[in-house]
Homo-oligomer: A and B are copies of this chain.
Amino acid sequence: MPRAVVLLSGGLDSTTAAAIARAEGFKPCALTVAYGQVHAVELEAARQVALALGITDHRVISVDLGSFGGSALLGDGAIPKDRPLAEIGAPGDVPSTYVPARNTILLALALGFCETLGARDIYIGVNVLDASGYPDCRPEFVAAFERLANVATRVQGIRIHAPLIAMTKAEIIRRGLELGVDYAITHSCYDPAADGGACGGCDACILRKKGFSEAGVADPTRYAAR
């Protein structure tokens, strides 16, 4: 079975992307990046997800993007809460939770891992619908990275797979459930309580709740008392 690198944050999207990689005939090798995110509890979720999906090669690499700052996800300012759905991902709106160049950095690291494995396939769980309006989640970003990857290394034929890119959150959840994903162990919240409970009010929580609601399935998320 050919190997594929899967960027795994431990969230709903990347977990589904990993399950899809497996369903598409790859042996997923997971890469989790500890980049200074305030919601570091997702790193433990990534470990549990890798275990549940039977991923035996799971690397965790650290790079302290907090030293650049510039994002609420890096502790620079408060996480926005209780925004109306119409505002989240509205055209031209890039929220304060955007981390400068994050997905470029994640894919660059995945490319290094991919080349050392002798693999040619990388999965990333970005999507543009029901998402936060980050520039590095758009199809043109993924396509530009793929073009770069194919002149950056010794490897030819590198493919960047973004299987969720045009799916709604509800479609992502339905696909994951078909593939046996246990969303109870995934973590999406940007501002969890000390015990890991989801806040329910950040953009990530709002989009996740909307997804389960529209998919018509019970939301397995453990929310903190508010």
Contact = CB atoms under 8 A, between A and B. Distances in A.
For A69, A99, A108, A111, which residue has the most chain B Cβ atoms within 10 angstroms? Answer: A108
B140 A101 contact: no
User: Which applies to chain A's interface (DSSP): helix, strand, loop or mixed?
Assistant: helix
B148 A135 contact: no
Nearest to A154: B94
A68 B116 CA distance: 7
A112 B68 contact: yes
14 contacts: A98-B154, A100-B116, A101-B108, A101-B111, A101-B152, A103-B152, A105-B112, A135-B151, A138-B151, A141-B148, A145-B148, A145-B152, A147-B148, A148-B148
Interface string A106-148: 0111011111100000000000000000011010110011011
Contacts of A94: 154
A59 interface: yes
B109 A136 contact: no
Contacts of A148: 104, 141, 144-145, 147-148
Contacts of A112: 65, 68, 99-102, 104-105
Interface in A74-114: 94, 98-105, 107-109, 111-114
Q: How large is the interface on A (under 10, 10 to 19, 20 to 34, 35 or more residues)?
A: 35 or more
A104 B148 CA distance: 9
List of 7 A-B pairs having minimum Cβ-Cβ separation, nearest first: A101-B112, A70-B116, A100-B115, A108-B108, A63-B63, A144-B148, A101-B111
Contacts of A149: 104
Nearest to A115: B100
Given A100-B112, A104-B112, A115-B100, A151 B141 contact: yes
B152 A135 contact: yes
Interface string A43-72: 000000000000000010111110111100
Contacts of A140: 151
For A59, A113, A116, A147, which residue has the most chain B Cβ atoms within 10 angstroms? Answer: A116
A100 B116 CA distance: 7
A141 B147 CA distance: 9
Contacts of A153: 100-101, 104, 135-136
